[in-house]
Structure formats: C-alpha cells, structure tokens
Amino acid sequence: MSAPTTKRTVTEREAREVAEAAREQDWRKPSFAKELFLGRFRLDLIHPHPLPADEEAQRGEEFLAKLRDFCETKIDSARIEREAQIPDEVVDGLKELGALGMKIDTKYGGLGLTQVYYNKALALAGSASPAIGALLSAHQSIGVPQPLKLFGTQEQKETFLPRCARTDISAFLLTEPDVGSDPARLATSAVPDGDDYILDGVKLWTTNGVVADLLVVMARVPKSEGHPGGITAFVVEAGSEGVTVENRNAFMGLRGLENGVTRFHQVRVPAANRIGPEGAGLKIALTTLNTGRLSLPAMCAGAGKWCLKIAREWSAAREQWGKPVAFHEAVGSKISFIAATTFALEAVLDLSSQMADENRNDIRIEAALAKLYGSEMAWLMADELVQIRGGRGFETAASLAARGERAVPAEQILRDLRINRIFEGSTEIMHLLIAREAVDAHLAVAGDLIDPEKPLADKARAGADAGRFYAKWLPKLVAGPGQLPTSYGEFKREVDLSPHLRYVERHARKLARATFYGISRWQGRMETKQGFLGRMVDIGAELFAMSAACVRAELLRSQGDHGREAYQLADAFCRQARIRVDELFRRLWDNTDDLDRTVVKGVLGGVYEWLEQGIVDPSGEGPWIADATPGPSQKENVHRPIR
C-alpha cells in the first residue's frame, strides 16, 4: 500500500472553501463579542459577572494549594532552562498530583476541574516554568482529552481518558513542513485497509510529540467507495510500528519544550481510533480550539502578574537621582501599563472561562480574542519589564546569580512569551479568523451579492435579503445608551467607570458602521484588506477587554475584595485602551496599506536588492522547507516516553 508522494497544490478558492467548511456554521447561543462587532453592547450577557458553584470553587482551590506546594518545592525553573528539559521526576510528580487530568471527568480518573480553575492552575504552573505550562496545556487543551470529550465515542473515552488522566502524555499533530495555517494542502494520508487505516506523512512542531504516548493526528483520507474521505482525526499510539520522532526541535524560548518532527510510515491505525466521521477532522480541531485557546491567555495573565511583581520590587529598590526609579514618570508609566493590563487580562480570562463553564454563550470569538489580546499584551509587558530592569533585564538569570545578584529571568520570560503570538494561530491568522466570525451576519445576507462567481439570480435574492437586513440594522447604529450621561450608573462609585462603558457602547456602534462601510467599499475584495480587518479586530479586542475589566471591578467591589483598588486599575486600563482605540479608528482609513503593497512587490521583484549590499549572511545552506516525502525514516528515533 503506497502513499501519495506528490505535493498537494490547491487554488486560493479551494483553500478558502476547506477552511469555510470546517467552521461552525450556526450561532445557536448568544455571543457578547459577536454582538459587540454588530454594534450591540449586550452588557446583560456578562454582568453581573458569572461565578463558579461553591463546590467547584472548593475543589479547585484545594488542588491549587497542592499544585502551589509542588511548584515551590519540586520545580527548579533554572535547571529546566539550563538543561533544556523538564526532569522526568517532575513529570512523574505532576502525574501523581493528577495534573494530567485536570480537565478530565472524575469518572475517568481525572480531577474534573472547571475551565476557570484549569486556567488558574496553568497560570500557576506556567509561572514556575513556562515549559511545564506548555506541556500541561498541549496535553489537555488540544491533545487527546479535549477532542474525545467533545467528539469521542463512549468506548474511546473509556479506553483513552483514564490513561490520559494519570499516565499517558498526549500531543496534537496537524502542522506539516509545508503546511501551516492552510490545511487544504495537508499531505499526510490515511488510506483505508480493511478495518484499519494506513498512515503516511510527516508532522512538524509536534508539541509534546517527543515524549507523548498518544497522538491526535490529522490525515487526509482519499475518497473511495464507502469512504467519503477528507481530513480526518485519529488517535494513534506513539509507540506504533512505523512512528519515528526524527528530531527534537530547539527554540529561542521554552527550552524545556518537547517539540519534534514525527514521521509516519505505513502506520496501521484501527478504524475504532478514528474520532468522528471521515472529513470531520478540521471541524473537530477548530471546535477543540474554541475553549482550548484559553490556555494561552491563562499563562499570559500569569506572566503579567510576575512582571508586575518584579517591576514593583525592583523599581522600589533601585534609586536614581535621589529617588526610586518608579517615581520617575518614564518608568512609572510602564509600571502603570503592566498593572492595569494584568488586571484586564485576568478579567478577560476569568470572564471567558466562566462563560465556557456555564455553556450559556457561544464563546468562539471571546476565546479567540482572549488568545490574541493576551499573547500580544503579555509580550509588551515583558518587553517593558526588560526595559525597566535596564542592563540587568538583558542579562541572564544565571549570570546575575554568578555575580551575586538576584537571579531574575526577565530576558527568559521575553523569549518564552514570544511563541504565544504564533502558537495555536498566529496573530495574523487570529485577525482573519475573528474577522470572518465578526462579519458572519453580513455574509449570511449579502455573501452571494459580493461573490463574483454567483449567478445573477442568486445575487438578486441576496440583494433583497440584504436590503431588508440593513433597513432594520443600520438605523440602530445611529444612537444608543452610550450617549446618555446616566447610562450604566451602577458602575459609578468613588471611581466612575460608567463613562468607559458608555464609550464602549458608542464605539461598538462606530465599529459596526466602519465594518459596513468597508464591505460596501471593497465588497468581494474585503478579505484581501487584511490591514483593515486586523485593526477592526484589535478595536473589538480592546472594547471586549474594557468591558471585562469594568465588570470584574464591580464583582470585586460587591464581594468586598479590593473593590476600590480594582476600580482604580479598571479606570487606568480603560483610559489607556481608549487612546489605543482612537488611534486604531484613525488608522482604519489613514494608513499606508496601498503603498506597503507596492513596496512588497518591489522587494519580491528584486527592485530593492541593492539595499541588501554591505552585509554577510550567516545563514547555513539547505532548503527553506525540509523535504517531507512519505517513506521510511532514515533517522534514529528520539522518542522517549516518560515512565
């Protein structure tokens, strides 16, 4: 049984159709963020702030106490950084603690934690070592447990979940050497053979893949009689014959990450290990990521807390020109940014997580915004911390310790956080993904109207539907409660947050109007205006974060838990965010996008090649993209399961 050896080539339209088919098509539940992009500020969907049940909170807090003790006594972050590996005894300890099964139901041997407490645990473990946070997240958020929880059969759950809860590490394998965010070109094949499938192909950047016992593998099943085919998800035993981990990859950060290249050659997988029907693989992957993406902002929020702690302690101890550096305005503004943004990131995370637990709302946009916003803002906070620390921020913790100073790994957190802007959907891809969901209502009524390949009859019907929709929708964008000075009065305390919520309401309508103008102006070319779409999404992210920060501040006030200080932080964050939003709105229409495209054509055409003269290129030789032709492995298997 031989596998295809030719590289898949697809047109832009084919790639778009594959991605579109994998989307969840319907909105069965309300979505705060979706409504926000449509100009409707549905504060009632998030306020009062939802809370976990007392029993769930108690169980979660008990586990957090055990995990904190383990992190403080058993995890040596400096050793992980130095040896570029998480010690086996640490992984074994996490297994004994039940950390592999935080999200797995108790009936399968897991802890059954809520999304809220799972994320709190990831933030805690990630602060001790980002590599450990990544291991736990990849195992549970996108590895075997989550897709089986959502799509697995009862037999699959009973077979695999007890293993994942206590002993077996899992990994998720989608990316290939020549396939990133364009899954239409996925080349790994799964050819039916009796009651089995035969897997052939190569997977790249397999987080946990080097040490995994179980793999979720996305592979293409060819269409044949009795087989609808398409990209399909499988659970694969990592120790199966024909599975070879050919390389353990090394990165600028997350040095303890067990990430590799995995080759499949004639790997036999039982049909019973297929998750869902043939062709459902991408839908399973995207649905899994709807809540799985919340793991990254959890660790970003934890990183913000650490940045704030170090900034506070260092800026109080370090004096320049007769006073602590914190009281110099240039440094103080950075500390204020870190404090306010950390408060907002935790607000976004907790709100999104609790909504995921309650399952009342569709949070696909909220989770994506949390991932996008958390990864971008955490990177900025870490960069500001390095700047506050000055030369010591650029110096490694080991070097600081060697000369007798506190071993603060500021430069390491900057390196470790950088991947979050790429992991599980790069910022650029997240912009497009969120923008697609944000304009879904428009495409539902006017999609055929702007599709150049649709016949005139379809366009006529779409035109009539669009006319009815916009006749009702557009007038509602003219005025709203954001223009009334008494609106949202329940947020008016010693510090008044009501003006910020009125700002969100007004600017949600303004964003919806801008989206409509963009669609009217560019129509079918709207999807190529990635600069416009990215700014549109960034505005929505800021408005969502402002809303979450205000709602969280009111929750803390009502609980008597640092309410006054929470209002101060929410006020500071909203004022900072409003400056960013105003600038983003200006740049929707005043930008260099057209000129940038001209320059790019010149760069790729060699017009500016003279600008590259006067340097030497230290890059090694070799192809830009490694050969991934199916076949037997020619390399040593570096797979090392931890037992």
SS3 481: helix
Check if the beta carbon of residue 199 is closer than 8 Å to that of residue 188: yes
Q: Widest CA span of the chain, in angstroms? A: 81
Residues 155 and 142: their CA atoms lie apart, in Å, by 20
HSE-CB at 150 with a 13 A cutoff on CA atoms is: 20
Q: How far apart are CA 159 and CA 156, in angstroms?
A: 5
Q: For residues 534 and 615, what is the distance between their CA atoms, to the nearest angstrom?
A: 34
Between strands 170-173 and 214-221, the pairing is parallel
Q: Which helix (H) or strand (E) holds 235?
A: strand 230-237
Q: Could you tell me the sign of the dihedral formed by the alpha carbons of 548, 550, 551, 555, in that order? A: positive
Selected catalytic residue, list 346, 424, 437, 505: 424
Strand partners, 262: 203, 245
Catalytic annotation on 424?
A: yes
Which residues are bridge partners to 219 per DSSP? 232
DSSP letter assigned to residue 176: B
Per the CB < 8 A criterion, the answer to whether 495 and 343 are in contact is no
Task: Render 180-236 in DSSP notation, one character per residue.
Answer: SS-GGG---EEEEETTEEEEEEEEEEEETTTT-SEEEEEEEEPPBTTB--EEEEEEE
- CA dihedral over 472, 474, 479, 480, signed as positive or negative: positive
Q: For 3-129, where are the alpha helices, taking DSSP H only?
A: 12-22, 32-37, 54-74, 77-83, 88-97, 115-128
DSSP for 504-544 reads HHHHHHHHHHHHHHHHHHHGGGGGG-HHHHHHHHHHHHHHH
Structure tokens at 583: 């600038």
Which residues does 322 contact at the CB level (< 8 Å), separation at least 6?
none
Spatial CA neighbour of 129 closest among 63, 83, 61, 164: 83
CB 108 within 8 A of CB 157: yes
Amino acid at 500: H
Cα end-to-end distance, the chain, whole Å: 34
Given the structure tokens 């509602």, which residue do they identify? 476
Asked, as a colleague might, if the bond just before 48 is cis with ω within 30 of 0, I would say: yes
For residues 138 and 146, is the Cβ–Cβ distance under 8 A? no
Return the structure tokens found at 57.
Answer: 């909170």
3-state secondary structure of 629: coil
| CA 6, 12, 14, 17 torsion-angle sign | positive
Question: How far is 536 from 538, CA to CA, in rounded Å?
Answer: 6
Please give the positions annotated as active site.
Answer: 424
